[in-house]
């Protein structure tokens, strides 16, 4: 019997990313072995970046033909010119692949290769060892240390809510969600900038965050009026489909949260736009809680928050708030978006209540 041949080593990996993105890119590469090419594919280096300006001088030098480039697009691909500009900057001979988190429909506008950063379906992080350059390895070591120290950071940045932050870390089981939900002037302005929409269109929009007496009944009224408002803007071509669906998704998150509160379930919620960033995902702690996951605003499939939940083996319930554009538009036009979200509540409420009742 012939001697088994050793598997070829993967190319050495270099990353040039925004400071908070290294960990999530690492989990994507770790869970998706189809990304990094082996040495016998003709590449000895794989370079990942999410901003072409972060690449060091000389990235287009003599080693270009043995380097494979990966451009990570964290918010989906809304404009095909992004990958075109990166390709022109690297040079037409560069081997460039776009790694997408979220929407990929605009890839039809470009000629470059693309795939999802995170593999579809169930995630596994037991792939072959990865080879990093010294700089990237040091950054990832720092990121791993931060996952352990994250609870201390949350407490020190609790802005007068230290006791609440300690209870979240050591206290009894709760339903937990940290992220964007509902609409606020700050969040709506951010989405308008992202989609090139005039924020002044929302001068008469009703923001639930300003209600002095929040409740499920009050939120139903806001949901009805805001749905009518958004449908009218869409029908007059003042907002696009992506904007409409994203905002409806945020409204659905807040409706679901209010439903949980109204059921008397103990819940901890922290909105990222509130100025207090509590990270309970990128850390092995807080595992006594039940996490709810609403999916990504920018598209379907796996994305950083869900990848963290899987990697740290936390218990979570996936909430599906999406729907076809025509269906959601029709419901919004009738002021009855709540009927869409109520169907998901009927499916997931028993699961949440059962998990809350179960002993850890």
Contact of 87 with 112, CB cutoff 8 Å:
yes
Residue 107 has pLDDT above 60, yes or no: no
Lowest-confidence pick of 127-141, 155-169, 206-220, 237-251: 155-169
Cα distances (angstroms) measured from residue 225 to each of 18, 209, 255, 267: 38, 14, 14, 26
pLDDT band at residue 4 using 50, 70 and 90 as cut-offs: very low
User: CA 336, CA 234: separation in Å to the nearest integer?
Assistant: 16
Sequence-distant (≥ 6) Cβ neighbours of residue 164 within 8 angstroms: 158
pLDDT band at residue 200 using 50, 70 and 90 as cut-offs: very high
Over residues 206-236, the pLDDT tens digits come to: 999 988 899 999 999 999 999 999 999 999 9
User: Percent of the chain at pLDDT above 90?
Assistant: 63
pLDDT band at residue 9 using 50, 70 and 90 as cut-offs: confident
- As a residue count, the chain comes to 360
pLDDT of residue 94: 87
Over residues 283-324, the pLDDT tens digits come to: 999 999 999 999 988 778 899 999 999 999 999 999 999 999
Q: Which neighbouring-strand residues pair with 38?
A: 10
Q: Which neighbouring-strand residues pair with 142?
A: none
> What are the structure tokens assigned to 77, written together?
């691909």
pLDDT of residue 6: 59
Over residues 175-189, the pLDDT tens digits come to: 999 999 999 999 999
pLDDT, average across residues 331-351: 97
Residue with tokens 């990570």: 72
Residue 271 has pLDDT above 90, yes or no: no
Cα distances (angstroms) measured from residue 61 to each of 66, 67, 94, 106, 254: 10, 10, 11, 30, 50
pLDDT, average across residues 5-25: 85
Contacts 24+ apart (CB under 8 A), 343-352: 344/256, 344/319, 344/320, 345/256, 345/259, 348/317, 348/319, 349/259, 349/263, 351/317, 352/175, 352/260, 352/265, 352/290, 352/292, 352/317
Question: Residue 120 burial (CB < 10 Å; 0-12/13-18/19+)?
Answer: exposed
User: CA 317, CA 325: separation in Å to the nearest integer?
Assistant: 24
Contact of 70 with 97, CB cutoff 8 Å:
yes
Answer with the residue of higher pLDDT: 352 or 296.
352
Cα distances (angstroms) measured from residue 349 to each of 258, 288, 304, 318, 354: 12, 19, 25, 11, 9
Q: Which of 101, 110, 49, 114 is nearest to 75 (CA)?
A: 101
pLDDT of residue 244: 96
Q: State the pTM of this model.
A: 0.89
User: CA 267, CA 279: separation in Å to the nearest integer?
Assistant: 16
pLDDT of residue 174: 96
Mean residue pLDDT across the chain: 89
- List the end-to-end C-alpha distance of the chain, in Å, as a whole number: 51
Residue 112 has pLDDT above 90, yes or no: no
Residue 1 has pLDDT above 50, yes or no: no
Over residues 35-62, the pLDDT tens digits come to: 887 766 778 899 999 999 999 887 665 5
List the chain domain ranges. 12-132, 150-357
Report strand pairing: 67-73 vs 95-100.
parallel
pLDDT band at residue 269 using 50, 70 and 90 as cut-offs: very high
Contact of 293 with 213, CB cutoff 8 Å:
no
pLDDT of residue 20: 85
């Amino acid at each position: 019997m012939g001697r088994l041949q050793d598997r070829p080593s993967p190319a050495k990996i270099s990353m040039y990313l925004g400071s908070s993105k290294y960990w999530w890119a690492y989990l994507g590469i770790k869970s998706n072995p189809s990304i990094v090419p082996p040495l016998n594919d003709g590449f000895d280096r794989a370079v990942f970046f999410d901003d072409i300006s972060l690449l060091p001088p000389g990235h287009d030098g003599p080693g270009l033909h043995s380097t494979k480039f990966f451009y990570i697009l964290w918010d989906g691909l809304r404009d095909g010119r992004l990958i075109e500009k990166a390709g022109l900057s690297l040079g037409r001979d560069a081997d460039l692949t776009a790694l997408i988190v979220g929407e990929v429909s605009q890839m039809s506008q470009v000629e470059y290769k693309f795939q999802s950063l995170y593999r579809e379906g169930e995630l596994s992080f037991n792939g072959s060892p990865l080879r990093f350059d010294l700089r990237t390895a040091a950054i990832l070591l720092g990121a791993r240390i931060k996952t352990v120290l994250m609870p201390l950071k949350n407490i020190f940045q609790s802005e007068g809510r230290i006791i609440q932050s300690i209870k979240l870390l050591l206290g009894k089981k709760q339903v937990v969600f940290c992220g964007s939900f509902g609409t606020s002037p700050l969040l709506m302005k951010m989405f308008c900038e992202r989609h090139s929409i005039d924020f002044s269109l929302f001068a008469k929009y009703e923001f639930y965050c300003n209600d002095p007496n929040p409740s499920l009944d009050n939120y139903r009224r806001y949901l009805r009026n805001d749905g009518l408002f958004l449908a009218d803007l869409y029908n007059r071509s003042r907002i696009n489909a992506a904007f409409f669906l994203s905002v409806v998704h945020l409204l659905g998150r807040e409706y679901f949260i209010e439903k949980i509160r109204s059921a008397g379930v103990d819940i901890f919620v922290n909105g990222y736009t509130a100025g207090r960033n509590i990270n309970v995902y990128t850390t092995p702690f807080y595992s006594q809680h039940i996490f709810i996951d609403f999916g990504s605003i920018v598209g379907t499939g796996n994305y950083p928050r869900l990848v963290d939940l899987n990697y740290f083996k936390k218990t979570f319930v996936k909430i599906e708030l999406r729907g076809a554009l025509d269906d959601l538009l029709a419901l919004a036009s009738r002021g009855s978006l709540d009927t869409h979200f109520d169907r998901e509540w009927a499916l997931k409420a028993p699961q949440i209540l059962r998990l809350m009742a179960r002993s850890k």
